[in-house]
Structure 1
Amino acid sequence: MLRGLSIKNFALIEQLQVSFDAGLVTITGETGAGKSLLLGALGLLLGKRADLSSVKDNSQKCIIEGVFRIDKYNLISFFEEEELDYEDETIIRREILPSGKSRAFINDTPVTLQSLASLGVKLIDIHSQHQTLEVTTNDFQFEVLDALAGADREIKSYKRGLQLLKEKEKEVNLLIVNQETFTKEYEYNSFLFNELEEAKLKPGELEEIEERYERLNNIEEIQERLSSSISIVSSEEVGISDQLNTIKGNLSKIASYSGGLKEISDRIQSLYIELDDIQLSLVNELEKLEADPQQLEETGQRLQLLHHLQVKHNVSGIEELMVLKEELQEKVSKTESLSEDIEKLQNEITTIKVQLDELASTIHEKRNKALPILVEELESILKGLGMPNATFKASLELQESYFSNGKEVLEFLFSANKGGSFGLLKKVASGGELSRIMLAIKTILSRYANLPTIIFDEIDTGVSGEIAHKMADLMFSMSENLQVFSITHLPQIAAKGQSHYKVYKEDLNNTTITQLKLLNKEERIKEIAEMIGGKDISDSALTHAKALIQ
């Protein structure tokens, strides 16, 4: 329950701090006094987005803080999941900075708006005037029915399963589209892959093949020039080898005469050894050469193939062709395995649907049991609210389709008069009737849902007299199980509150501000008398006000 509310620098509220008790709390005030500001401030505490325009003084920080007693509402698991410190008396704070940025805190720990909103829905249900129309929507009707049906566990499991089903269906549809695309390209990709596979590509092969081809293609010239070179080196008397040998002999005889000659002699010796080695190498190279027209042809064909593949695939090397081959192999393999993947996913989808069908059947059974109870309780409460002939006709029908909360269509029809025709709420119920139906629903929900606080913002619109008394009695009855706030213009409801607050405006230092005050008994009598007869309070209005309070 909401134990305290502190508001600073918000709209027309300069500074406000107020405490609340359990039971029925009524709030009154003239139109425009600022009752909506309280709801706006609470909305920020419950996770609504902040707006700098709602800050009174843009140079100062706006702070809204609520103190909630939560020890009876099984919220420890929420705090554990959100990694927050749990306190029986939890403090929620919202700040709007002059920059326009906002911050949120739960027990002094910074949190996201999503976390704040997740906790907020577990703490307060704010029913504003425009939300009365929610009662006409199918989603809201299911929400009420499910509160009575007690199928929370099954519905949560169903929703998780439905989400998984949608993901799997999206996945299989994407595979089917890909399969159609890949199948069209499959034969071409297979041909390209096989062509590269048959080429038996090796890294660095192109340079090796080009070298071999050049050698085989020019073998006669190579043989001729090698033979000529060997002849120059080894020819008797005029060959380089013989001449170098003569020089070597000459220098060896005079090397002992000086260090310089000795050095030159050694160098000549080294040249002679190196030349001898070169001669052997030339001979070896010549002996290895052998004309081989067949190998030349094969090498030429291989070189032509490699060049052709490079041009065909617009690449500059064997390595790029090998990368392309791997990519093509992956495409071909993927296409070949798509059918198996699709079949596997379709089997998974079938299994999920079986599980969803079982859950939907259980949910349907529980809802079917709860539906007549809901109708009976609604009609009973509405009789006490001046609608003795209000009748509902409700039915649930299982469908083949999977909806967000089950496989059923709920038909919820209403007739306000005896013998009247049934129709959809939004078409046949008046504004005053919708207000009473909503109050009746909230009354039923209060018995089944473990909600700490509910706030009614002028739910009494369109009613008066004895009906107002009945609505007040209902709210009072609800307040035995939870904290109930009622923002009202009806004296009958205001008088029923166990605590009564007044919202009003006053001018201070040439500034209009909104205040909230807890009324004592005398102030309550005067406030209710004004609600009955206006500013000029008559004795009869005072008497009536006292009677209402008593």
Structure 2
Amino acid sequence: MLLSLSIKNYALIESLDITFSNQFSIITGETGAGKSILLGALGLVLGNRADLSVLKDKDQKCIIEATFSLANYNLERFFQDNDLDYEEQTIIRREILPSGKSRAFINDSPVNLNELQELGVFLIDIHSQHETRELLNEAYQFDILDAVAQNEKRLTSYKKGLEVLHQSKKELSQLITEKEALSKEQEYNNFLLEELVAAKLKEGEQKDLEEELDQLSNVELIKENLDKVLSIANEEQLGTLVTLNEIKQSLQKIAVFSKDYHEYHERIISISIELQDVIDECFSSAEKIINDPERLELVSTKLQTIYTLQKKHNVTSVEELLAIQNDLDGKLVRYDDLDAEIVKKKREQADIIEKLDQVANLLTKARLEAIPTLSEQIQYILTQLGMPDAKIIFEIQPTDSYTKFGKDTISLLFSANKGMAMGPIKKMASGGEMSRIMLAVKAVLANYSKLPSIIFDEIDTGVSGEIAIKMGEIMKEMSKNMQVFAITHLPQIAAKGDQHYKVFKYNVENDTLSELKLLTAEQRIVEIAEMLSGKNISDSAINHAKELLN
């Protein structure tokens, strides 16, 4: 609900601050007085685009600020999704700077025009005789029918189920695509895996094999040098061990004479022990060395296999080959598992479809039951609006496809006169008829759902007398459930309002300004009398105005 509107430096408005009630408000004024300016300013708050031409003073910025009550509109989710602070009394501000830049704010948080437009849909519906296109929109037709059918919870359930179905279809498609991709590679992957398994690879073996190959390839050289080491160490006269033993004995004889000599003796003992160990191990190694051509061939072949595999897979280690082996093995196992997963996913999808069909059927059933009631209520109001023979039917047809509305398609059929065949409303209804149908539709919807505030902008064009009175009564009845504004030139409608605002122009020196003011009871009588008889107000016009107001 629109609580207040503040406009500064916009078109002919220098400064305007106005508050509104939650009932039926009338806005009147002479042609050109500024009613369209008021709607234009409100449109900016709702996210319409602007340019510098709207600035009254080109050196000052334009500020339009509207305060809305959001109670009962269930808009908390919108604020949460857009990371905005939710307030029951929310302020929307729009600024147009002299530079041409535009800024928008919701509760002082900057927002873009898309966010403003998205919120604006829930706040105000500006409806004129020429703004009836939404009645031709399939989504709006479903909205009308579902409001009367009380399908809100069923639609929520259906939409959640539809999201689950879409996700399930996506996952199934991914599994099938994966299966197809693996199927193309299956034979080659199996060959690669068998090749790697046949190699019987082990972590760390490449280094050991390369070292063994070096030894097997140089047996004679190794044995020759080990024998030489043993010979030098063990020679009876000048062998290393004999010489070292003599040194040890000499140092032992003088060790008692100095700490240094004692330390030399201890160190030579350690060297003697270490050398003996080395000689013993060299002897042991020499004993083990044999010329084994078969082992040499085996090690050489194994290494050549490793090198070939590394080149094929573009890696440099056995560990990387083992990782590839595990990956290939995983792909083959995955290929075998995919069939079971696909079957399971198809079963899940069948269950989802079964449940979704149940909800869709409930939607269809509720719609079919609501159609007679909806048509009767709209036709009843159209009769009051001077269309006694009008017939309107919401026709739904089942479809096999899942849409965001369920498994139905919808058509809105209309006939204005007796004997006229019914057909699509866009072909059968004139502009004036569409305007009355929209008024009837919104009047019915006001009884079933929480609609945004609505502004009827001269939808009474072309009507008068009793029809105008009925229009006013319908709008007043709507205002029991929602905030309603009517911009009108008809005194019969103006008299039905709970509040009456007048838009007028006046001159200040060489400047023309536009203003909006709330009329007092006396001022209202004069305004309606003027609407009846023109500027020269007669006593009969005053009395007629009073009668209309009473």
User: Are the equivalent residues in 1 in contact too, given 2:11–2:37 (CA < 8 A)?
Assistant: yes
- Within 5 Å, give how 1:526-537 maps onto structure 2: 526-528=526-528, 531=531, 536-537=535-536
Partner of 2:186: 186
User: Are the equivalent residues in 2 in contact too, given 1:50–1:96 (CA < 8 A)?
Assistant: no
Amino acid corresponding to residue 353 of structure 1 in structure 2: I
- Give the Å deviation of 1:3: 3.6
- Cα pair distance change 1:240/1:369, threshold 3 Å: same
Q: What secondary structure does 1:131 align onto?
A: coil
- Give the Å deviation of 1:359: 1.1
2:103 matches 1:104: no
Partner of 2:346: 346
Amino acid corresponding to residue 323 of structure 2 in structure 1: V
Amino acid corresponding to residue 68 of structure 1 in structure 2: S
Cα distance in 2 between the residues matched to 1:270 and 1:167: 78
- Give the Å deviation of 1:279: 1.5
Q: What secondary structure does 1:413 align onto?
A: strand
Cα distance in 2 between the residues matched to 1:110 and 1:49: 16
Deviation by residue 1:226-246 (Cα, 9 ceiling, x = unmatched): 112211221121323333434
Partner of 1:418: 418
- Give the Å deviation of 1:61: 8.0
Partner of 1:241: 241
Cα distance in 2 between the residues matched to 1:203 and 1:304: 16
- Give the Å deviation of 1:286: 0.9
User: Are the equivalent residues in 2 in contact too, given 1:460–1:488 (CA < 8 A)?
Assistant: yes
Deviation by residue 1:518-538 (Cα, 9 ceiling, x = unmatched): 12344334544555566x545
- Cα pair distance change 1:263/1:322, threshold 3 Å: same
Partner of 1:435: 435
Amino acid corresponding to residue 288 of structure 1 in structure 2: K
- Cα pair distance change 1:201/1:541, threshold 3 Å: farther
2:89 matches 1:90: yes
Amino acid corresponding to residue 104 of structure 2 in structure 1: S
Uncovered stretches (5+) of structure 1, i.e. residues with no partner: none
Deviation by residue 1:15-60 (Cα, 9 ceiling, x = unmatched): 32222234320112345544345445555666x3776856777865
Amino acid corresponding to residue 201 of structure 1 in structure 2: L
User: Are the equivalent residues in 1 in contact too, given 2:44–2:94 (CA < 8 A)?
Assistant: no
Cα distance in 1 between the residues matched to 2:137 and 2:321: 63
* Greater shift in the superposed pair: 517-526 or 133-142: 517-526
Partner of 1:524: 524
2:260 matches 1:291: no
- Cα pair distance change 1:230/1:473, threshold 3 Å: same
Amino acid corresponding to residue 447 of structure 2 in structure 1: R
Q: What secondary structure does 1:447 align onto?
A: coil
Partner of 2:371: 371
* Greater shift in the superposed pair: 356-365 or 250-259: 250-259
Cα distance in 2 between the residues matched to 1:44 and 1:23: 23
- Cα pair distance change 1:14/1:164, threshold 3 Å: farther
| Identical pairs, percent | 46
- Give the Å deviation of 1:130: 4.7
TM-score (norm 1): 0.86
Partner of 1:385: 385
- Give the Å deviation of 1:452: 6.7
Deviation by residue 1:125-158 (Cα, 9 ceiling, x = unmatched): 4435553121122222221111111122111111
Partner of 2:473: 473
Cα distance in 2 between the residues matched to 1:510 and 1:338: 83
- Within 5 Å, give how 1:144-543 maps onto structure 2: 144-250=144-250, 252-253=252-253, 268-451=268-451, 453-506=453-506, 513-528=513-528, 531=531, 536-537=535-536, 539=538, 542-543=541-542
Amino acid corresponding to residue 340 of structure 2 in structure 1: E
User: Are the equivalent residues in 2 in contact too, given 1:529–1:537 (CA < 8 A)?
Assistant: no
Q: What secondary structure does 2:481 align onto?
A: coil
* Greater shift in the superposed pair: 234-243 or 296-305: 234-243
- Give the Å deviation of 1:81: 7.7
- Give the Å deviation of 1:197: 3.3
User: Are the equivalent residues in 1 in contact too, given 2:26–2:499 (CA < 8 A)?
Assistant: yes
Cα distance in 1 between the residues matched to 2:11 and 2:170: 48
User: Are the equivalent residues in 1 in contact too, given 2:68–2:91 (CA < 8 A)?
Assistant: yes
- Give the Å deviation of 1:218: 1.6
Cα distance in 2 between the residues matched to 1:85 and 1:256: 95
- Cα pair distance change 1:448/1:263, threshold 3 Å: closer
Amino acid corresponding to residue 349 of structure 1 in structure 2: Q
Cα distance in 1 between the residues matched to 2:39 and 2:245: 115
Q: What secondary structure does 2:387 align onto?
A: coil
- Cα pair distance change 1:505/1:333, threshold 3 Å: farther
Cα distance in 1 between the residues matched to 2:122 and 2:104: 22
Cα distance in 1 between the residues matched to 2:541 and 2:347: 76
- Cα pair distance change 1:288/1:145, threshold 3 Å: same
Cα distance in 1 between the residues matched to 2:324 and 2:22: 75
- Cα pair distance change 1:332/1:460, threshold 3 Å: farther
- RMSD, aligned α-carbons: 3.6
- Give the Å deviation of 1:340: 1.8
Partner of 1:135: 135
- Give the Å deviation of 1:344: 1.6
Cα distance in 2 between the residues matched to 1:142 and 1:216: 87
Cα distance in 1 between the residues matched to 2:384 and 2:124: 26
Aligned length in residues: 543
TM-score (norm 2): 0.86
Amino acid corresponding to residue 420 of structure 1 in structure 2: M
Cα distance in 1 between the residues matched to 2:104 and 2:282: 87
Amino acid corresponding to residue 363 of structure 1 in structure 2: L
Partner of 1:66: 67
- Cα pair distance change 1:102/1:80, threshold 3 Å: closer
- Cα pair distance change 1:121/1:439, threshold 3 Å: same
* Greater shift in the superposed pair: 334-343 or 141-150: 334-343
